Amino acid sequence: MPDASRHSSGDSAGDSARDAEGADGGDIFLRDVGSASAGDAASLDTGHSGMDAGCTPGPCRSHILIPDRQNSLQAICLDFEEVRQAVGLPDGSQNAGASVVDYDGDHRPDIYLLKEVGANQMFHNQGGNFQVAQGLRLNLASGTRYAAWRDVNGDGNLDVVIGGDSGSALSINDGRIFAPALPEVGIHDMNASRTAVWLGANLLVGTENGLRFFQQGPGLVFEEVSAALGLDDFGDAHALAIADYNGDGLPDIYVANSTGVDRLFMAQANGMYQSVEMMTGTQGSGNSTDAQWIIYQPGASTSLYVSSFGRGNSFFVNMGNGAFQDRAGSLGIRDNGNTTRVKWGDFAGNGYPHLVEARSGQENLYFIPEIDAAGDVVRYQNRAPALGLNLNGQTVGLETLDYDGDARQDLLVILTDGMRLYHNISRRVNLCH
């Protein structure tokens, strides 16, 4: 296993903050520590390849420059542009979240908008623009919290389990419409739920009364077997994160609970699960809202970020020996705010993911890593204001997608009273010395 221990210990508001930050301090050069100075990056060349006296500087709108570790004469100008209205997405209201999925197999990510009140909507991606898909029978009743997609019956079409305040149920896609599966299929749970994930052919659902593991048997029939497999958690799961954190080839499960401690279930070769959150130190701080496994720098083991509502977030760095260390504080990503969702994404395309935090009643955060000369992340900086990403509202969903096929990760933000789609327009630029 790779060694992670080499680590050293409102739109208008966003626009004005972006302008103010650039005007006050010029370009922000998030650099390899000790390898460059901010002055080296104060001007950019977007039209010339040489570094001679004729270099013509060009602006970086966000004023955020990330070093290109492969070419010291270049940097990545990190930038986003909000395009929701331009691509045909509505602002909306009473939203509960979203699911990004290529439901029709055309190799374009579609957006399934989940509603707190009113009917869900599928927005079909038609090559960078979206239109509401009609007649799918996915405009289900309000209170939806998640949608988990998989081709359950092997016909080449993605089916879906949709869950929320009224429980969870499976719908089968015949290529034209989605129809509810019969009750005897076995996935029909009446407990309110907020999250679910497929593990191969099996479905794990986090309900307000604990976990439900639906194991597929012969044919299209599922049986609930959580207790028999050792998945004995009775918390209110808000997120499920799956990864092989110990390199044994088996999918391990992290459960982020809003009640009780968080749980880490290590998969066993016999199909059972062992609870190891206490021995690994990953039980969290309570009132957890989201969790994501992430390789945060090249060569690192799979680590875990867990968000909490008002109690401080945790970043459990995998030390590669079966133990984790919480380094959220030393890395600058503890944040004691009202975090609702988190999303890591390699928005700069350099192998060092950035962290986006959605918050309730507080500005959203966007953390960029600072990297030392050895290639280790030493700290993260919040640059949401400079990027225009510091929305202040009730943010309930974050998703990454490449909606226009330009090979850059874009960011979808869902608020209770609207949505924003941020097109990633980052680019490499030459540095003028």
Mean pLDDT calculated for residue range 390-410? 97
- Whether the pLDDT of residue 45 is over 50: the answer is no
- Whether the pLDDT of residue 25 is over 50: the answer is no
**What pLDDT does 59 receive?**
66
Residue 4 and residue 301 in contact, taking contact as beta carbons nearer than 8 Å: yes
Of 42 and 309, the one with more pLDDT: 309
pLDDT interval class at 41 (50, 70, 90): very low
pLDDT interval class at 14 (50, 70, 90): very low
**In the chain, % of residues over pLDDT 90:** 76
Buried b (16+ CB within 10 A) or exposed e, 155-168: eebbbbbbbbebbb
Length of the chain in residues, anyone? 433
- What is the SS3 assignment for the chain? CCCCCCCCCCHHHHHHHHHHHHHHHCCEECCEECCCCHHHHCCEECCCCCCCCCCCEECCCCCEEEECCCCCCEEEECCEEECCHHHCCCCCCCEEEEEEECCCCCCCCEEEEEECCCCCEEEEECCCCEEECCCCCCCCCCCEEEEEEECCCCCCCCEEEEEECCEEEEEEECCCCEEECCHHHCCEECCCEEEEEEECCEEEEEECCEEEEEEECCCCCEEECCCCCCCCCCCCEEEEEEECCCCCCCCEEEEEECCCCCEEEEECCCCCEEECHHHHCCCCCCCEEEEEEECCCCCCCCEEEEEEECCCCEEEEECCCCCEEECHHHHCCCCCCEEEEEEEECCCCCCCCEEEEEEEEEECEEEEEEEECCCCEEEEEECHHHHCCCCEEEEEEEEEECCCCCCCCEEEEEECCEEEEEEECCEEEEECC
pLDDT interval class at 351 (50, 70, 90): very high
- This prediction's pTM: 0.88
- Whether the pLDDT of residue 259 is over 60: the answer is yes
pLDDT interval class at 95 (50, 70, 90): very high
Between CA 12 and CA 58 the distance in angstroms is 25
pLDDT interval class at 27 (50, 70, 90): low
Q: Is the dihedral of CA 236, 399, 20, 22 positive or negative?
A: positive
Give per-residue pLDDT as tens, 122-154. Answer: 999 999 999 999 999 998 767 999 999 999 999
Mean pLDDT calculated for residue range 229-250? 95
- Least confidently predicted of 44-48, 157-161, 229-233, 306-310: 44-48
pLDDT interval class at 99 (50, 70, 90): very high
- Whether the pLDDT of residue 262 is over 90: the answer is yes
Residue 242 and residue 199 in contact, taking contact as beta carbons nearer than 8 Å: yes
Of 115 and 32, the one with more pLDDT: 115
Residue 146 and residue 164 in contact, taking contact as beta carbons nearer than 8 Å: yes
- Whether the pLDDT of residue 158 is over 70: the answer is yes
- Whether the pLDDT of residue 52 is over 70: the answer is no
255 is written with which tokens? 């459960």
pLDDT interval class at 2 (50, 70, 90): very low
